[in-house]
Chains A and B, each alone.
Chain A
Amino acid sequence: MWLENAVQDAERRALPDLKPLLEALALATSALRTADWNDDATGESGARRPADGR
């Protein structure tokens, strides 16, 4: 859904060359979203506590 909306928006803004970059970004985003440090709102995930993120 995010990718579809992003590609449509890029086309609306006359930036069709952005499509392959957005597709690559979607892969990176997917990897980020499935990383094992992410929380979920149920409180059941064993998310680690990171160090200062500066």
Chain B
Amino acid sequence: MAADTRSVAALAAALTARDTTSETVTQACLDRIAELNPALNAFITVLASEALAQARDADRELAAGRRRSALHGVPISLKDLIDVRGTPTTAASRVREQHVAADDATVVRRLRKAGAVIVGKTNLHEFALGTTNEDSAFGPARHPLDPNRSPGGSSGGSAVSVAANMAYASIGTDTGGSIRIPSAMCGLVGLKPALGEIPTDGVVPLSTTLDHVGPLCRSVEDAGILYDVLRGIAPGTPAARPEPRRVRLGVLRGYFTALLDPQVAAAFEALCGRLRDAGVELHDADIAHATDLAPVYTHIVLAEAAAYHATTLESRGDQYTPNVRLRLEMGRYILAEDYMRALKGRGVLIQEVTDALKGRDGLLLPAVPVPATTIGAATVGVGASDEPVRNVTLRLTQLFNVTGHPAIQIPCGATVQGLPIGAQLVGHRDATPALLAVARALEPAFTIRTSA
């Protein structure tokens, strides 16, 4: 059977019309996983029998005229950081070898209630502390277009599962860019909602004040469908989609465009041109303290991660992958006074992003400065310089974890080698529905899709 590249919305329409069944498409996803997972390593756990049972239940309900939501009967995957009752939550770590979740995470309960079919749990950078998915007790997930490259991370397996058509969407987490980075590298839409909108209980934390849960999927419409389910309220009337000629965006320059692969820079400028052609009003914008962002982020994320892991580092330190262990240990040396300085800087950055949004519908910037990186590379060439992979991949996404503003990554181009390139739209704090409305209005201008 050929791979099914339909969106969640298109599949939902087909299921409602009884043009196909949930069991049929779920079995196709499971077949695809069996075929591709040995090479791509996207899944840690495949829930075949459970998924087929859920699919048959969904079909029975649809046949009886009961449609729970637009996700009813749709096969999706979950990052293996999210609890599913009776199933291990490995966090891609040997540290959690004996773990079995006693209950569903709140987001899983909501997905079940919406009728989603969970086909399996996906690979990630161990404990979500990394952007390449390479440091995993289960080995690296691999990019569908080039298995020698990383799909990005930390939700790398989630991105691969959707890009390689093993699921129609996935639920990931994003603490510094872990939804948006792999979505950009694999040609998907990835939504980091506003801070605090989606519950994180039952999700293994990386950094309790920076963690976000959100979807990786094939369209902005799908991101909206999943967002509505994850936030647990019945979808109301969607925010009105504005005419592109009435949209005003701030284009973040300075720090945000100073370090870009030339092909990423060209794709971004081409996107700006298409948006202008569509009538969108673009004005340059800047964040004065953007150069202080990395120290602020580092001191918050590592201090909070170290607090969670300290006991386990003492008792089972050798069971972490070496790189993740060292980064967690590094966090144990951060002083309380420096953590507090970082929190104060966080407040400054929140204000500056909020100010940059005043009188505008959103901010626009590239998603990741480089296309998918080679597995095993510690550094990546960016123009004339050589940069640490971790620093460069986090560079454009981490700000909005620090500030809590919602951000969505949308594919906007590809390199000459065919590797995807993406850009982000950022919305007003606590206004994710309005961001989604703007993103849907502008999605045709982003257009060029390169999903594997």
Measuring CB to CB, which residues of chain A are less than 8 angstroms from any residue of chain B? 2, 6, 9-10, 15, 17-18, 21-22, 25, 28-29, 31-33, 35, 37-39, 47-54
Q: Verify B327–A37 contact, CB threshold 8 A.
A: no
Q: How far is the CB of A16 from chain B (nearest CB, A)?
A: 10
Q: List 11 A-B contacts (CB under 8 A).
A: A2-B335, A6-B333, A15-B329, A17-B322, A22-B330, A28-B295, A29-B299, A35-B295, A50-B344, A52-B347, A53-B350
User: Are A35 and B326 also in contact (CB < 8 A) when A28-B298, A53-B347 are?
Assistant: no
CA distance A25 to B299 in the complex (A): 9
User: Are A31 and B195 also in contact (CB < 8 A) when A48-B348, A50-B350 are?
Assistant: no
User: Are A50 and B348 also in contact (CB < 8 A) when A21-B327, A29-B299 are?
Assistant: yes
Q: How far is the CB of A50 from chain B (nearest CB, A)?
A: 2
| Nearest-neighbor residue (CB-CB) of B429 within chain A | A51
Residues of B within 8 A of A18 (CB): 326, 329-330
Q: Verify A32–B299 contact, CB threshold 8 A.
A: yes
Residue with the highest number of chain B CB atoms closer than 10 Å, among A10, A21, A48, A53: A53
Q: Verify A32–B338 contact, CB threshold 8 A.
A: yes
| Nearest-neighbor residue (CB-CB) of A31 within chain B | B295
Tell me whether B209 is interfacial, beta carbon within 8 Å.
yes
Tell me whether B414 is interfacial, beta carbon within 8 Å.
no
CA distance A35 to B298 in the complex (A): 15
A sample of 18 more A-B contacts (CB under 8 A), given A25-B298, A39-B344, A54-B196, is: A17-B322, A18-B326, A22-B330, A25-B302, A29-B334, A31-B292, A32-B295, A32-B296, A35-B345, A37-B345, A38-B344, A47-B344, A50-B348, A50-B350, A51-B354, A53-B343, A54-B195, A54-B209
Residues of B within 8 A of A53 (CB): 343-344, 346-347, 350
Q: How far is the CB of A22 from chain B (nearest CB, A)?
A: 6
Residues of A within 8 A of B330 (CB): 18, 21-22, 25
| Nearest-neighbor residue (CB-CB) of B347 within chain A | A50
Residues of A within 8 A of B345 (CB): 32, 35, 37, 50
Interface residues of B in 285-302 (CB under 8 A from A): 289, 292, 294-296, 298-299, 302
User: Are A35 and B292 also in contact (CB < 8 A) when A28-B298, A50-B346 are?
Assistant: yes
Q: How far is the CB of B83 from chain A (nearest CB, A)?
A: 24
Q: Verify B341–A38 contact, CB threshold 8 A.
A: yes
Residues of B within 8 A of A49 (CB): 347
Interface residues of B in 329-370 (CB under 8 A from A): 329-330, 333-335, 338, 341-348, 350-351, 354
Residues of B within 8 A of A25 (CB): 298, 302, 330, 333-334
Q: How far is the CB of B300 from chain A (nearest CB, A)?
A: 10
Residue with the highest number of chain A CB atoms closer than 10 Å, among B294, B333, B344: B333
User: Are A52 and B350 also in contact (CB < 8 A) when A2-B335, A28-B295, A32-B299 are?
Assistant: yes
Q: How far is the CB of A24 from chain B (nearest CB, A)?
A: 8
Residue with the highest number of chain B CB atoms closer than 10 Å, among A15, A21, A48: A21
Tell me whether B140 is interfacial, beta carbon within 8 Å.
no
Residues of B within 8 A of A39 (CB): 344
CA distance A32 to B295 in the complex (A): 6
Residues of B within 8 A of A50 (CB): 344-348, 350-351
Residues of A within 8 A of B195 (CB): 54
Q: How far is the CB of B80 from chain A (nearest CB, A)?
A: 26
| Nearest-neighbor residue (CB-CB) of B330 within chain A | A21
User: Are A28 and B326 also in contact (CB < 8 A) when A38-B341, A51-B347, A53-B344 are?
Assistant: no
Residue with the highest number of chain B CB atoms closer than 10 Å, among A32, A33, A49: A32
Residue with the highest number of chain A CB atoms closer than 10 Å, among B209, B294, B327, B330: B330
CA distance A29 to B404 in the complex (A): 23
Residue with the highest number of chain A CB atoms closer than 10 Å, among B195, B326, B327: B326
CA distance A11 to B217 in the complex (A): 45
CA distance A51 to B330 in the complex (A): 28
Q: How far is the CB of A27 from chain B (nearest CB, A)?
A: 8
Q: How far is the CB of B310 from chain A (nearest CB, A)?
A: 13
CA distance A42 to B365 in the complex (A): 40
